[in-house]
Structure 1
């Protein structure tokens, strides 16, 4: 069983019934990851696996600190997931900024260092899916998060601080996709529906 097949079943078991909206979002993040395969090479299956489990920290079985990225990474460590998947889940999107707001930065040191290009990729995928699982532009997704939480909330503060870097991460991925497309390596754009769900 490949990493992504195992991860798909794990995420489905934790989210599909209890958190269906979060499950729909996770499936779209997974689709985005599959569409990035041409720029990921040997890391394509790893990213797809991390994408589908990236929000398992919201599941009751995983909640400990209340910071879902860290909680998801810790839960995956407890079930002996690949350490790279645990790290990508713990570090995705605005996690370092949110951890700093909550006094949890030290907790991120418990995770294996992981390549910046993979953190860029999972962040791009996360920001390319709406909360209900529709494809969305990352810029719009960030604005939606700010509007939903509002000033004063920890997520608002973290995303506001992270936004410039998150947009740079998105741009780096877009540039790689453009280069791959020019080279004829990519036949579909990120965000296109992928028939390989489930794996």
Structure 2
């Protein structure tokens, strides 16, 4: 199914872009893992989030900073994870949201742009998105349309997302999950998801920290 998005006039970082506003070559080639790869992800995420959701934009920049901290253990995957960290919340943008479930909407939007499949899959499945998809009765399309990334990259995305506070500052996964539960409420879909996923989130972050420790890196 082809996703259709409204035509929106671009005005620097102020406007929300439609897919055709961005050249495909910058994020499509698996060989494009240089600074240009994440520079373009930065521009796209900024255009979609900075004005409408400034806190989510700050959070996304913090998540990207987390990916940079993981570079010593991510190796050749570092830029892919950093691009996904920058883009993981674009599904909240009004020009992108279709189902109300941001991992699915963001991934479909990026797929429509022809973005590198590895980045798209990380956005689709970030932070145990399948568990929330079940609560929203959207597991089938998410699981059917987007392949699960390797476990180590899934863990890296959990670390990036769940150690970046809403203001982009470094935090702990326990503080972050507690803040989400307060913000959404325990009976909301998001609250129920976090309650279910919380042990998995902390375990994933712990695995990443352990890998960093074994590599002689500190966070």
SS at match of 1:93: coil
- Which structure 2 residues correspond to residues 12-23 of structure 1 after superposition, within 5 A? 12-23=46-57
- 1:45 pairs with 2:79: yes
Give the alignment partner of residue 54 of structure 1, picking from 80, 88, 91.
88
Query: 1: CA distance between counterparts of 2:95 and 2:166?
Result: 21
- 1:1-199 alignment to 2 at 5 Å? 2-108=36-142, 109-181=144-216, 186=217, 189-190=218-219
Larger RCO, structures 1/2 (Cα 8 Å, 6+ apart): 1
Q: Distance in 2 between matches of 1:127 and 1:133?
A: 11
Aligned partner of 2:17 in structure 1 is none
Question: TM-score w.r.t. structure 2 length?
Answer: 0.81
**Shift in Å at residue 119 of structure 1?**
0.7
Deviation, structure 1 residue 3: 2.2
Structure 1 residue runs of 5 or longer lacking an equivalent are 191-199
Root-mean-square deviation (CA), in Å?
1.2
Runs of 5+ unmatched residues, structure 2: 1-25, 27-35
Output the TM-score relative to the length of structure 1: 0.89
How many equivalent residue pairs? 184
Give 3-state SS (helix, strand or coil) of 1:141's partner. helix
Bigger-Rg structure (1/2): 2
Which residue in 1 is equivalent to 2:3?
none
> Can you list the C-alpha shifts for 1:76-120, whole angstroms capped at 9, x where unaligned?
111111111111111111311110001000112201331111110
